[in-house]
Amino acid sequence: MAPQQIRVGMGGWTFEPWRGSFYPDDLAQSKELHYASREVTAIEINGTYYGSQKPATFAKWRDDTPDGFVFSLKASRYATNRRVLAEAGESIERFVNSGITELGPKLGPILWQFASTKRFEPDDFGAFLAMLPKKVDGHALRHVLEVRHPSFMTAEYVELSRRYGAATVFADSDQYPSFADLTGDFVYARLMSSSEQFKSGYAPKELDAWVERATAWANGKSPDDLPRVGDKDPVAKQRDVFIFFINGAKIRAPHAAKALLERLKK
């Protein structure tokens, strides 16, 4: 698996404490995305969760970043933060038709994040998954689900998400469910346990362990040291892997991403 198939980054690119620690002091704020996209290989955009962006904005992000770079987009909260998910069709359609395909080949996974209070209700959740489009404007869409209630840690959820080809977030967190079952044709990990104690957010041994896990995922296997709830994984096949350093000691996120990318090159 080539390193470029394991993409690593952080959430967003605008964070004041990164100036002088990640960004040069004299870098114009308008150049931050240009700079960040040449230091990491992917960025997860959180702003799309709170409000829609203009097609011209997606086009600008596309043009500011190098070939091979990928954006993950967090889908609108209006689609996921509702009592009845089966009623989310209009919100889903509005989001996927908001101009996201202006990103072109840089459009990566769409992250559907559910509230930590949202319980797993198979029929309702299945109705939601059935509404997620496979294509928009000729662009194939990849969907990933971040489920945050313990009731999702069941084989029934794993089977349902596999049926619709949706990946499941692996959350490196003590706060949310963490299970590494392969449910889609790519893998998406959100690492939330960084510490300011380490310059790279994680201890060197922890970063080495994430290299091994990412490599296992890329080769179609669930890492042996991470928990699963399903009986078995699908037949092993190579997968794209996305790893984002999110929250925790946020000031360390770009350094953690760069440190992991350096290890992956070895």
- Domain coordinates of the chain in residue numbers? 3-265
% of the chain with per-residue pLDDT over 70: 98
**Which amino acid, residue 246?**
I
What mean pLDDT comes out for the span 109-132?
Answer: 98
**Which amino acid, residue 131?**
M
Q: For 218-250, how does the pLDDT look when each residue is reduced to its tens digit (9 = 90+)? A: 998 889 899 999 877 777 789 999 999 998 899
Q: How confident is the model at residue 42 (pLDDT cuts 50, 70, 90)?
A: very high
CA distance 173 to 154: 18
- β-partners of residue 19 are 23
Q: For 55-69, how does the pLDDT look when each residue is reduced to its tens digit (9 = 90+)? A: 999 999 999 999 999
CA distance 70 to 10: 12
- β-partners of residue 190 are 171, 244
The pair phi, psi for residue 62, each rounded to 5°, is: -60, -45
What mean pLDDT comes out for the span 25-54?
Answer: 96
3-state secondary structure the chain: CCHHHEEEEEECCCCHHHECCCECCCCCHHHHHHHHCCCCCEEEECHHHHCCCCHHHHHHHHHHCCCCCEEEEECCHHHHCCCCHHHCHHHHHHHHCCCHHHHHHHEEEEEEECCCCCCCCHHHHHHHHHHCCCEECCEECCEEEECCCHHHCCHHHHHHHHHCCCEEEEEECCCCCCCCCCCCCEEEEEECCCCCCCCCCCCHHHHHHHHHHHHHHHCCCCCCCCCCCCCCCCCCCCCEEEEEECCCCHHHHHHHHHHHHHHHHC
CA distance 7 to 28: 26
Which pLDDT score is estimated for 1?
Answer: 39
3-265: CATH number: 3.20.20.410
Q: How confident is the model at residue 174 (pLDDT cuts 50, 70, 90)?
A: confident
Scanning the structure block, which residue is given the tokens 């080495």?
A: 208
